[in-house]
Each structure stands twice: as C-alpha cells, then as structure tokens.
Chains A and B, each alone.
Chain A
Amino acid sequence: MSMATDPPARMPEASASSEQGALTRAMTDLGGAALGRPLRGWWACFAVAVLALAVGVVAVTYQLRTGIGTWGLNRSVGWAYDITNFVFWIGVGHAGTLISAILLLFRQRWRAGVSRAAETMTIIAIVCAAIFPVIHLGRPWLMLWVLPLPNSRGPLWVNFSSPLTWDVFAILTYFVVSLLFWYLGLLPDFASLSHAATGWRRRVFGLLSLGWNGSLRTWARYERTCLLLAGLATALVISVHSVVSFDFAASLVPGWHTTIFPPYFVVGAIFSGMAMVLALLVVMRRAMALQSYVTLQQLDAMCKIMLATSGLLGLAYLIETMTALYGNHGPDRFMLMLRMQGPLAAYYWAMIACNVLVPQLLWSGRVRRNRPLVFAIALLALAGMWLERFLIIVGSLQRDFLPSGWVDYLPTRIEVATLVGSFGLFLVCFLLFCRWLPVVSIAESRAGHRTRLRVADR
C-alpha cells in the first residue's frame, strides 16, 4: 500500500523553516480562541443564540408537560413542524459528511479550510434533528421503546418493517460515525494546542489528544483510519437521507408514496448543507479574520456544489411533474395540481424560487465572489429547503384519499417556538465550538500551506 511509504498527506514537514512560520501563524490564528483570546462580537451573538434557545426550551418544556395538543396538529395532519424540522436538520448535516468523506476520498484540497466547520455543523445538526422525533412522541418518556433492547415484557421486539425503526438505526449510525470522524480530525490539533497552552488548558488538551506524538507512524495510521472512516461515511451520505425519505416513500399517502424520494432527498440534503456551511463560513471568515484559511477559492467551490445540487433538485421537481402528468394516475395528478394551485401554492412557488431559480445566479463568478450575496442566496436556499419538507409533509397529509378527511393545518406559537429554539441550540453549540476549538484544522492548514506555496489561490 502506497500510503505507508509516501509521506502522509497531512503531516507537516517539520524541517522547513517556512513551515515553522506557518505553524506559529496557524497556531495564533486558529488556536487563539481556544487558548483564551477573546473573539469580536462573540458575546453578542451568544446572547442572541441563548435567547432563542431559551424560547425553545420553554416551549418544549410546556409541550412535554401539557401534551402534543399544544401543537397545531389534527386528526389528518399528524406530522408538521416536528418532522419538517427533523428532515431539515438531518439534511443540513449532510454537507459535513460530504466534505469530510467524499471530498477527502477525491483528494479535494480545498476542503481543508472548511472541513472542521462543516463536520462540527454536522454533529450539531444531527443533535438538533434528533430532538424532534423524541419530542414529537405522544409519550416521549417511552422513547427507548423504539430500540430493540432486551426487556422484561416477553418476546416484545421493535417492528423491523417500520421505516421509523430504520430511521433510528440510520441516524444513530450516522451520529456515531460523524462524531468519530470529527474527533479523529481534532486529534493532531489537540496535541498542538496542548503544546502551545499553559496551565489547565495544557492538561485538558493533552488528555483530549489521546497521547498523540506526531511521529511518522502515528500520522500514517491516522491517514489510514481517516480513509477507512471516509469510506464508511460515504455510504452514509447516501443512506441516511434515503432512509429518512423512506418514512414517506414507504407509506400510502399520495404525495409521499413515490420512488424518486431517496435521490431527491439526498440531493436536497447536500444542497441545504452546503448552504448552511456557506452561510456560517462567510460570517466566520470575517468575524474571526480567517481570510487566509477560508479563501475565496474555497467559497467558490462550495458555491459550485450548491449550483450543481440546485440543478439536480430542479430536475427532480421536473421529473415529479412529468411523472404526474404522464402517469395519468388520479391521485398523483391531483397532488401536483394541489401543490401548484392549492392552499399551499404560495409555499410551492417560493420553494421553486429559493431552490431552483435564485441559485442560478451562482453561474456568475462575480456573484460567487460577492460574499453578502452568497450569504443571502444561502439563507434563501435554507428557507426553500425547509419549505420543501413542509410542503411534502403537510401538503400531502391535508389532502389524502377521502375528502371528508381533508383538514387544513395551522401551526401554534409553541410549534414556531420549537423551530426558533432548534436554531438557538444550533447557534449556541456552534458558537461554543468557535470559542473553544480551532475552527479550521491547524494540522491541515499547515499541510495546505505547503500546497498554497505551489498554487497561488488569489
């Protein structure tokens, strides 16, 4: 295997003097916050995030005490904001896995500057997502019953033909692998931080680095483990959102029961994930002065991925329409007409605008380099993807087989507050990450520096 003989890709060449300078610079730029340097505007952002989180905590506490009735659900619409938020956050998480796994396998160098932020975002997004299937239960205190645990109730097992059971496995696997990947990436940085730090920080970072010694052998094993995990995670990028889409595709509900969902959901997930990473990085880059680590070239590459997935998404919408029109199947055509002209038609057209039309601006290089514009496009894409899931879930449930069961849905304040709260949780966690961990991999940026000496990226 070539890996063992070649110098590991990410191992810094300790002898080169320019490397030493880069190391010092990277240490101050990236490790600074972790070593106690204050961050500009951090407390203000954190206060806002904590406030949003508090709103959510209050809402969820009240809902758990009082009942699911505090949401706007009814006899026909059994899922709405809860599962919409769940699918949305799971989707957002996909960018991290894509960047850290697939792009690693394809040796895309530009991922170095963004992978840490993206991977962290993935972990936080999965946590945000996982909250919803738990709190949406009628009796959330029994949530462990969805796991096939040995129990004292005789041969009582979970239902392996239920897509919700598949969901549990898919998401738990995804979370564990993502967490491993993320922590593995942090190991060399913990070691560097431990060297640079003093006092309790030195001890904590030293512990977290699991005895990393920076030897050639350590690096070689590290690289191999990363590749192995990347292989595992690549399958997960495809499988997780496919399984999530089975919740809908494996049901009978017109508008859910469709075979296009797995690829359609995966593409949408990558699209929204890229949008989230872009939105975060554009802000972080400026606030934390990371211009030399998160370069315009990297933002540009992510914009291109967004553009590509937006095109695929547009194709999926088109195929859905064509299938309905060609299929001459009443319920399908009805669902199509309903989306385009029904009570949620405004949502549908807003979704098309946000997910398909607006991202077309990214064809222009000028737009891709205009950070405020990219930020705005990314936010719109996030809104569009949320609307897409809302339309699929609520739009289908409120018009199914019997007209007598057709009931419209309106969210309550409690439901809106849970959405606000999930964003609050996301931002609180992400801001803590910015404060306590290097937001760009120090090790990779040193390796990347070597590359940059060859390829000027401005």
Chain B
Amino acid sequence: MFDASTDGPSFEAFWDRSLRDGWTRRSDPAVAALHFDVSQVPSSVPATSRALGTLVLIGYPTVALLDGRQAFNPWLLELPDPVTKVTWESGASVSPATARVLGVSDGDLIRIAPARDAEWASKATADDLTVEVPIVVQPGQHDDVIAVPIGYGQRATQRFAGIGPRWLGADTSDRARVGANIAPLLARARPGEGVAPTPVRVTVVGRRRELARTQDHSWLQASGRDAWGTEASGALIRFAEAGTAPRPTQSETEPGGPDLWPDERQQLGPRWGMAIDLDACTGCSACVVACQVENNTPVVGRDEVRRHREMHWLRIDRYYLERPSGVAVAHQPMTCHQCGHAPCETVCPVLATTRSSDGLNQQIYSRCVGTRYCMNNCPFKVRRFNWFDYAHDERMENLVLNPDVTVRSRGVAEKCTFCVQRIQDARLAARLRGEEPADGDIVPACAQTCAASAITFGDLNDPHSRVRARTGDGRAYTLLEGLNLQPAITYLAMQRRDRSPDDDVDGN
C-alpha cells in the first residue's frame, strides 16, 4: 500500500493523511491497451443450427444489470427492460416464428442445455449446464437465436425475490434467485476470445412462470379486434418527414370556438412544460430510475408487477411497428401531462387534485381519500395508487429516501409532479437573488439523467425558453389532441427512413 516513490518518504505522514482523507491512492500498473480484431469474432449464427430445437444462445447485458455487477439493486431489478419490458426475470427471447415452432408463448418455461455435439459440454455435468427460463416472444428477433440476459441468477439475490407487500393472495412461492445464470452455458473457447454464441438444445418444460411485465400490448398497427390501434393509437408515435415546416405558435393553435367551461384560472405566472424528443430517446430507462430515486417511489416486487401495480411515475412505452424492413421499435416516455383541462381534476369528489398557479396538476396526498376515479379518467394512465402501505419503519432502508419528497401512505393516488421540489428550490434560490429562475435553472430528475438530452423542461409562457422553442418545432405534436386536454408535454416526432434491402447495415 505504502509506496515511498509516490507517497513521499515518511510513512507517518502517509498514515495521517490517509486517516484524515479516508482514502489512499494506489498506483496500478499501467494497463496495456487491448486491441480488437474483428476477424477473430466468430460468425454469430453457425449455418448448421437450423435443426428444430437447436438454437444459438446469445447472452446479452441488460442496461440495468450490465454484466451482473448491479444485480443487488432492487431499483434495477424492477426496471423494465427497454425492449422486452420484463422485470425481475432473465427471460429467454425467441422470435414469434420460433415460438410457434416450439409451441410456446410468453411465460412458458423452457430448459436450455448445451447442444449434443458440443465437446466442451461433456466436461461438466448436465445439471450445471442446464437452466430453466421463461419464454419472452420478441418480435423482430432472428429465428435461430435465443437471447438471455447475463448477470442474473446470482447468489444471494434470493432475498429480493420475495420483496413486496405481504398479504393473503401474494404469491410468495418464488424463493429462488432472481433470474437464471447462463454463464456456464456460454462457450468459452480460449482466453481472449470472449463469450461466443453457443449452440444449445431447447426443451419445453410444460410449466409456466408468469412474466412480471409492464406492457402487454405493443403493436400500433393491430388487426382484428384491436383494430382501434390503427386509428387512435397511430397518432401516439408520429413520424415526421425531414424538413417539416415549423408548427404554428401556441396562440394560433388554441381552439377558437366557444368553450362551455371558460378557464377561470388565468395563467399569470409560469406554465411548466416539457418537450420530449422521441428521435433522441433510446429507451434506455435511466430517467425511470432517476424518477424513482428522486421521488421516493417504492419497489413493489415481482408479484405486484405481475398484477400491474408497478409504481413508476415515469414509464417508457415501447411500441412495435411493422415496417417494410422488419419490425421497428419506438420508445415514448410517458408521464403526467399536467393537463390544462385535466380529466382527473374534475372527477375528484374531495378536490385532492387541483391545478396550481404555475400550471401544475398537483396531488394533495393528505386530502386524497382514494376513490381512484382520477386514475380511471386519466387518458394516459399515468396515475399510481398506493395499494398497500409500502413505507417501512426500517431505519436503514429509509436512509435512501429523498427528504424533500413526501412518502405516501396507503390508499392515496400519486403521479409525476414535474419534480415540484426542484421547481420550488430553484424559485426560492432565484427569489433570494431577487429574480425569477432563468430558463434551465430547473431540471427535473428525468431530464437531468437523460444522456441524450431528449427531455427539455421549462416555462411555456416564457417566449424565449428552450421548451417554448421546441413546441414550435416542425416535429412537435401533443397526444390525444381530440380530447382538448391542453397537455404540458410536447413530443417531437421521430424521423425514420425505412431501410431497403440493398442499404448497408447502418443505413437506418
């Protein structure tokens, strides 16, 4: 630890400094630069794998757990995967065609074992190399591939499997580790070659394990009984042509006809709003975790997510679109739109949800009696309900809470506040300086965390704010315009060009 060449000649001085700082610097040997030789990467799909029941296993790191180093964080275990939307599970993704061949659907357990001809497999026992995972049918996936996230199934993750409210109907049978570890299955040929795709044998177990999934319906162009999907939901994700003309400014788009319900709540101060660039959003879900951490949103556990009671205030809706080039995926961050004409406000019998002077739709927890009428009437379904008492008395667990945000009790509704605590903080700081907060002073947790800067927050009433400028963008649109909700969130449409077969790979 002590190195006279870097730490100085005196051990005493080094010791005192280390005690005072609480840390020491350790010099590591210089790391030799690794070089990456593309020609050494094995072909991802061996041509011989076409046989029924033989698939190629690919282990992939998820954004939440990476290689598994974050497997001990319940926030991340409950974070829906950006594409599969599965939580608390390492599901095996297969294409719809392969699922049909195997005769399985979402949640059917399969057993993955090494292919018979893999000589490396004979060295280990079959038990070591067999994992049981539930199926996740993944549109757009290669038919020969079975993809399972790595980093799951770690020792000591059992304690998270049973997280959640304890009650009569709670399914507490799952006491195993979270997910399954597929590392032993992945062929490691020689050191330095990394993890190679592995031919595996897949057998159907015949049992099921329901997925804890946050989104069940994902197609924007549905057929048959879901035909409405094409009409109403087609407008959810919009595609813009490059170079679209700027949108008329807000005052011009305001409905000109007489309003049966004149707005008595004149907006004098700021009107907080958000613009979300769907083109920039990668669906990485960092904002979801940021929101959860900032706003003391509880982790509810696998059983509750299965019952569709996840508490995330901000979610990312993921839609599939059938395009000429295959299945496209669109991500749409979805949170409270802080509507000007808020459907939740009119229906609450006790005025527990009202509009603030700065245009926020505020939820008053202490006034809420829990009729859930607001949740029913919310067209975006962004309101959440405290089905149980999620707050706990444990000191250690409470250390994680944000002291600026109320911890909600059982039986009240809650939803995104646009991080009102940060708004108030910034306004207070500005007031002490004798001014109003400048554009960009207020950054909600989601916007702060977004690596792609897809979220712009600011005052819609300020003609010079960035968010105001974005609402005039040619790609700007609001959701469910026909309902005249006057939402404070504006989306910027995606610009997509369909890949033609002769385009090169990255021509998306």
Task: Quote the shortest CB–CB distance from B162 to chain A (angstroms).
Answer: 16
**Contacts of B324-361 to chain A: CB distance below 8 A:** 332, 334, 343, 346-351
* Chain B residues whose CB sits within 8 angstroms of the CB of A263 once the complex forms: none
Bound: A338/B92 CA distance, A: 31
* Chain B residues whose CB sits within 8 angstroms of the CB of A225 once the complex forms: none
**Contacts of A391-439 to chain B: CB distance below 8 A:** 397, 400-408, 412-414
Does A79 count as interface, using CB distance less than 8 angstroms? Answer: yes
A75-B310 in contact (CB<8A): yes
Bound: A283/B499 CA distance, A: 73
A-binding segment of B11-19, B367-375, B460-468 = B367-375
State which of B227, B318, B349, B377 has its C-beta within 8 Å of the C-beta of A253: B377
* Chain B residues whose CB sits within 8 angstroms of the CB of A4 once the complex forms: none
B413-A404 in contact (CB<8A): no
Bound: A171/B370 CA distance, A: 20
* Chain A residues whose CB sits within 8 angstroms of the CB of B343 once the complex forms: 251-252
Contact with A along B371-389 (1 / 0, CB 8 A): 1110111011101111111
B-binding segment of A142-150, A226-234, A285-293, A355-363 = A142-150
Contact with B along A227-271 (1 / 0, CB 8 A): 000000000000000000001001111000000000000000000
Task: Quote the shortest CB–CB distance from A225 to chain B (angstroms).
Answer: 34
Bound: A159/B368 CA distance, A: 12
Does B217 count as interface, using CB distance less than 8 angstroms? Answer: yes
State which of A136, A157, A338 has its C-beta within 8 Å of the C-beta of B351: A157
B349-A168 in contact (CB<8A): yes
Q: Which of B310, B386, B412 has the most chain A CB atoms inside 10 A of its CB?
A: B386
Given A159-B349, A330-B231, A397-B376: A138 and B410 interface contact (C-beta under 8 Å): yes
Bound: A330/B236 CA distance, A: 14
In the complex formed, the residue of A with least CB distance to B345 is A159
B411-A403 in contact (CB<8A): no
Bound: A72/B312 CA distance, A: 19
Does B169 count as interface, using CB distance less than 8 angstroms? Answer: yes
* Chain B residues whose CB sits within 8 angstroms of the CB of A337 once the complex forms: 225, 227-228
**Contacts of A150-208 to chain B: CB distance below 8 A:** 156-159, 161-165, 168
**Contacts of B192-232 to chain A: CB distance below 8 A:** 215-220, 222, 224-229, 231-232
In the complex formed, the residue of B with least CB distance to A166 is B349
B381-A405 in contact (CB<8A): yes
Does B175 count as interface, using CB distance less than 8 angstroms? Answer: no
Q: How large is the interface on B (under 10, 10 to 19, 20 to 34, 35 or more residues)?
A: 35 or more
**Contacts of A322-354 to chain B: CB distance below 8 A:** 330-331, 333-334, 337-338, 341-342
Contact with A along B272-308 (1 / 0, CB 8 A): 0000000000000000000000000000000010011
**Contacts of B413-432 to chain A: CB distance below 8 A:** 413
B233-A403 in contact (CB<8A): yes
Does B483 count as interface, using CB distance less than 8 angstroms? Answer: yes
Classify the secondary structure of B's interface with A: loop
Bound: A405/B310 CA distance, A: 12
Given A69-B167, A139-B368: A164 and B373 interface contact (C-beta under 8 Å): yes
A402-B236 in contact (CB<8A): yes
* Chain A residues whose CB sits within 8 angstroms of the CB of B169 once the complex forms: 70, 412-414
* Chain B residues whose CB sits within 8 angstroms of the CB of A405 once the complex forms: 380-381
Does B121 count as interface, using CB distance less than 8 angstroms? Answer: no
Given A403-B217, A403-B219, A407-B308: A158 and B349 interface contact (C-beta under 8 Å): yes
Task: Quote the shortest CB–CB distance from B355 to chain A (angstroms).
Answer: 12
Does A76 count as interface, using CB distance less than 8 angstroms? Answer: yes
State which of A67, A78, A333, A402 has its C-beta within 8 Å of the C-beta of B373: A78
Bound: A413/B318 CA distance, A: 33
Given A69-B309, A403-B220: A162 and B346 interface contact (C-beta under 8 Å): yes
Does B480 count as interface, using CB distance less than 8 angstroms? Answer: yes
Bound: A338/B369 CA distance, A: 32
Q: Nearest 10 A-B pairs (CB), nearest first?
A: A138-B370, A138-B411, A334-B228, A69-B387, A78-B372, A405-B381, A330-B231, A74-B308, A404-B317, A164-B349
Could you show 6 A-B contacts with beta carbons less than 8 Å apart? Answer: A69-B167, A333-B227, A342-B225, A402-B381, A406-B216, A414-B168
Having A66-B168, A408-B216, one finds 7 other A-B pairs with CB under 8 Å, namely: A73-B387, A78-B373, A79-B372, A79-B376, A138-B411, A159-B350, A402-B381
